[in-house]
Amino acid sequence: MRIARFTTGEEPLYGVVTGDVDQFGEPDEDTTIVALAGDPLYVGVKLLQQEHRLSDVRLLAPVLPRSKVVGIGRNYAAHAAELGNDLPTEPLMFFKPNTSVVGPGDPIFYPWQTQDLHFEGELAVVIGRICRDVPPEQATDVIHGYTIGNDVTARDLQRSDVQFTRAKGFDSFCPLGPWIETDLDPQHFADGVRVQTHLNGDLKQDGSTADLIFDIPTLIAHVTSVMTLLPGDVILTGTPEGVGPMQVGDEVEVSIAGIGTLTNKVAQR
């Protein structure tokens, strides 16, 4: 099931996206969204008698992280190498504030403090229930679904600050969407799902989740050995190689097979 959040100009609602999408989740003309009563994370899926064509609504971030977005750094060997970093021996965690989250189509604002704003296309895991100390073999029990994230990073500030907070924490630095896919088999990701990023139509990143250094169950076990995760918290699983700069006016698209495409443009702050 594809769960989205949307507005028609009124109060935002959650909805289920029905109909065909292609392998990268691009909807066709007839794709519709059926509104839901409340947030399915908390009240389950309750369909309302309200249906719209997807093209008639504006999609919003499909989840509002209740407490945190946990990023994982250097989780693809080739990406660690391209930035001159050693491979981690355990997952490297950092936070993005929940205020950095924006939705599909929202602008990524280019802050004046940086001269090197990078995209990082990533698979995002949405947590479905309160959990801590989750063993890897039970990790799938706490997953609500998967969406696409862009871990926008001010690379120069990341280098100069050492700490990642400022470099990854600006408002609009965590686009999520276009929806949450709840039915994907996590094994699917172990076997490898393509993660691609296009900048103004040019392919920049073309990775596979088969190349994750630490797989999703390992990440959930590791994170929850440190901190409690709440429903709606998000884990960004790391970015493949090919990260690079964006300029004001650029359009960045992150596509994950089986989920869809997350598109945002860079705007002057």
Residue 155 interacts with Zn ion (CB under 5 A): yes or no = no
Could you tell me the smallest distance in angstroms from the CB atom of residue 168 to Zn ion?
A: 8
In total, the chain counts a number of residues equal to 269
Extended beta strands in the chain, E state: 2-7, 13-18, 32-36, 47-53, 58-60, 69-73, 92-96, 101-102, 107-110, 117-119, 121-127, 143-150, 153-154, 174-181, 194-199, 202-208, 234-236, 244-245, 251-256, 260-268
Neighbours of 235 (CB within 10 A): 27
Q: Which residues, other chains included, contact 1 with Cβ-Cβ below 8 Å and sequence gap of 6+?
A: 16, 45, 181, 182, 183
Residue nearest to Zn ion (CB): 151
Residue 154 CA neighbour count, 13 Å, CB half: 25
Q: Of 239 and 264, which has the nearer Cβ to Zn ion?
A: 239
Q: Of 35 and 127, which has the nearer Cβ to Zn ion?
A: 127
What 3-state DSSP class applies to 198?
Answer: strand
Residue 151 interacts with Zn ion (CB under 5 A): yes or no = yes
Residue 233 interacts with Zn ion (CB under 5 A): yes or no = no
Q: Of 14 and 119, which has the nearer Cβ to Zn ion?
A: 119
Q: Of 153 and 224, which has the nearer Cβ to Zn ion?
A: 153
Q: Looking at 25-33, 104-112, 114-122, 178-186, which segment touches Zn ion (CB under 5 A)?
A: 114-122
Could you tell me the smallest distance in angstroms from the CB atom of residue 123 to Zn ion?
A: 11
Restricting to residues 120-149, which ones interact with Zn ion according to CB under 5 A? 120
Residue 237 interacts with Zn ion (CB under 5 A): yes or no = no
Out of 147, 196, 239, 263, which residue is the one contacting Zn ion (CB under 5 A)?
239
Binding site for Zn ion (CB under 5 A): 120, 151, 239
